[in-house]
C-alpha cells in the first residue's frame, strides 16, 4: 500500500494528514472550513484515495493560512506516498461537467511543480470562503506534491459548480496518473530514469 503521513505545525496552523493512494475513496476531514471540507471529500471520493485531514488554524483572522497549509500538507503526504514514482502512468487529464459547467485538468507527476490556473469567479465568496483561496490551495498542493498542474474552467456560471468541477477533475486525473502501468511497473516513467529537472 502506498501511504503517507504529514504533521505540519506553524504559529498559524496545526495540521495532520494521512493518505492512502490505493484506497477506496474513504475520507475523514475536519479543517474548520465547511466548503474546504466538502472539496477534500470530493478529492478523496473521486480519486479513490483514502484521506484523513485534521486542521486547526487562525480562522479568527481569515481562512487563508488554513487553506494554503492544508494544500501543502496534502501535497506533501501525496508525494511521500508516491515514493520513487516507479511504475506510475505519470500523465493524465480529465474533463468534468457539472450541469452548465465544464472544467479540464491536465497534469504531469514530474517532480517539477507548476500551476496554470485559468479559473474566474463572479462572486468573491462561497459561503464564508473567499473564492480567491481556491487558487492558493491548488498552488500549494501542486508545489508540495511536485506536480505540473493545468486547471482551466472552459465555461460555467455557477461558482459552486466551477470550484467543485476543478476538484473533481483533479481527483480523476490523479486517479489515472498514479495508477501502476503493468507494462512498466518497475521503471520510472522518464528517459532519464529519474523525475525532476529537465526531461
pLDDT at position 199 = 40
**Confidence class of residue 111 from pLDDT cuts 50, 70 and 90?**
very high
Tell me whether strands 101-109 and 91-98 are parallel, antiparallel or unpaired: antiparallel
C-alpha cell at 102: 465544464
pLDDT at res. 183: 80
Residue 198 has pLDDT above 50, yes or no: no
Average the pLDDT over 141-160 and give the result. Answer: 98
Architecture label for domain 3-184 = 2-Layer Sandwich (3.30)
Task: Report pLDDT digits (tens) over 1-40.
Answer: 899 999 999 999 999 999 999 999 999 999 999 999 999 9
Radius of gyration for the alpha carbons in the chain, expressed in angstroms and rounded? 16
* pLDDT value of position 184: 79
- Residues in a beta bridge with 27: 51
pLDDT of residue 176: 98
Angle, CA 22 vertex, CA 56 and CA 186 arms, to 5°: 125
Q: What would the pLDDT profile of 72-107 be if each residue is shown by its tens digit?
A: 999 999 999 999 898 999 999 999 999 999 999 999
Q: Which of the residue ranges 122-126, 132-136, 156-160, 181-185 would you say has the lowest mean pLDDT? A: 181-185
Strands (E), the chain: 3-9, 13-20, 27-30, 50-57, 91-98, 101-109, 114-118, 125-126, 129-130, 147-155
SS3 115: strand
How far is the C-alpha of 53 from the C-alpha of 4, rounded, in Å?
Answer: 12
In degrees and rounded to multiples of 5, residue 88 shows phi and psi of -70, 155
Residues 139-167: what's their mean pLDDT? Answer: 98
Amino acid at each position: 500500500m502506498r501511504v503517507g503521513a504529514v504533521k505540519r505545525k506553524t504559529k498559524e496552523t496545526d495540521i495532520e494528514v494521512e493518505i492512502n493512494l490505493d484506497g477506496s475513496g474513504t475520507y475523514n476531514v475536519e479543517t474548520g472550513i465547511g466548503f474546504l471540507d466538502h472539496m477534500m471529500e470530493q478529492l478523496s471520493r473521486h480519486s479513490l484515495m483514502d484521506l484523513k485531514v485534521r486542521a486547526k488554524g487562525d480562522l479568527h483572522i481569515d481562512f487563508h493560512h488554513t487553506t494554503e497549509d492544508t494544500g501543502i500538507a496534502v501535497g506533501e503526504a501525496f508525494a511521500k506516498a508516491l515514493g520513487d514514482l516507479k511504475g506510475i502512468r505519470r500523465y493524465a487529464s480529465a474533463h468534468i461537467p457539472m450541469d452548465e459547467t465544464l472544467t479540464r485538468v491536465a497534469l504531469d507527476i514530474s517532480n517539477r511543480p507548476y500551476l496554470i490556473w485559468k479559473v474566474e469567479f463572479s462572486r468573491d465568496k462561497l459561503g464564508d470562503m473567499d473564492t480567491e483561496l481556491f487558487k492558493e490551495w491548488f498552488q500549494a498542493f501542486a508545489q508540495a506534491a511536485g506536480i505540473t498542474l493545468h486547471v482551466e474552467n472552459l465555461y460555467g456560471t455557477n461558482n459552486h459548480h466551477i470550484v467543485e468541477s476543478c476538484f473533481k477533475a483533479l481527483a480523476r486525473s490523479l486517479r489515472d496518473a498514479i495508477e501502476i502501468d503493468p507494462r512498466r511497473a518497475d521503471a520510472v516513467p522518464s528517459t532519464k530514469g529519474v523525475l525532476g529537472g529537465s526531461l
